Amino acid sequence: MQEKHIDLERIRADVKKRIEAAVPEANINYCLTCGLCASGCPATGLEDMDPRKFLRLLVLGQDKEILETDWIYSCTMCQRCRYACPMAIDVGRIVYEIRGMRPREERPKNLQRSCDLQRQNNSTGIPNEDFVWVVGDVLEEVREAEPQWKDLQAPVDKKGATYYLNQNAKEPTVEPEEMVPLWKILHAAGIDWTYSSEWWDGANYCLFTGDPEDWEYTVRKQAEVVDALGCRYYINTE
């Protein structure tokens, strides 16, 4: 197993104090150790951790264990533990903050790389012109192979469209045929929609790194595209 090298000095503060400052509503010290959080958690037992143990380590000041456990990336932050907790302790919110305390180089490499790529435009790194080409090529294939869909549309950069649609970057990259069913639904329903040739990726991996600046930047760039096209509604396929 690869040895971790979390530099605790770089944190520069007691983790518990940082959490209490960042998430005052988390009510960390109200934990009754009842275990209801762990009983319904899908990540219980992974990485030898569960929400109750995680919270107790935090309360007891075990900063090294908290910062080094990869359980924070197994947690889906689904909030089931919060709803089960009689004291309404927000473990998911705490997990998000802990993720953000991890140095970038100590975060899961695939996750951070996808986020870094997305800050440039999309999480797979394919050029925008490739996305536009794939959409057009797949559309042409459908029109030729299925005459009943000869009028099917998959517009890109259509100004003034009512709906803006983003796209999971995996589909145009490795399974482009998966884009077609939604096109057909929108066409059959008479929906006026468009893709964009920029910031079209709907899978925002920056949501999961714990870095709000990355998350905010990506969402803002996507929103700017929607505004520039003059679309009224934004459909997030993710």
pLDDT value of residue 13: 54
Asked whether residue 32 falls in the same domain as residue 86, the answer is yes
Asked whether residue 125 falls in the same domain as residue 202, the answer is yes
pLDDT band at 26 (very low <50, low <70, confident <90, very high): confident
Query: What mean pLDDT is predicted for residues 218-222?
Result: 90
pLDDT band at 2 (very low <50, low <70, confident <90, very high): very low
Structural tokens at position 143: 């029109």
Alpha carbons 207 and 197: distance in angstroms, whole number: 22
Question: 0.85 exceeded by the pTM?
Answer: no
pLDDT value of residue 232: 96
The model's pLDDT over 82-103, given as tens digits with 9 standing for 90+, comes to 899 998 888 988 999 899 888 8
Asked whether residue 115 falls in the same domain as residue 224, the answer is yes
Alpha carbons 171 and 124: distance in angstroms, whole number: 10
Asked whether residue 23 falls in the same domain as residue 69, the answer is yes
Q: Which of 67, 75, 97, 95 is nearest to 5 (CA)?
A: 67
Out of 106, 122, 140, a domain closes at: 106
Alpha carbons 165 and 167: distance in angstroms, whole number: 7
| Residue 186 within any structural domain of the chain | yes
Asked whether residue 126 falls in the same domain as residue 213, the answer is yes
Out of 46, 72, 106, a domain closes at: 106
Asked whether residue 147 falls in the same domain as residue 229, the answer is yes
- Say whether pLDDT at 12 is over 50: no
Structural tokens at position 53: 């143990």
Show the domain range for 75: 8-106
Average pLDDT, the chain: 89
The number of domains in the chain is: 2
The model's pLDDT over 161-183, given as tens digits with 9 standing for 90+, comes to 999 999 988 899 999 999 999 99
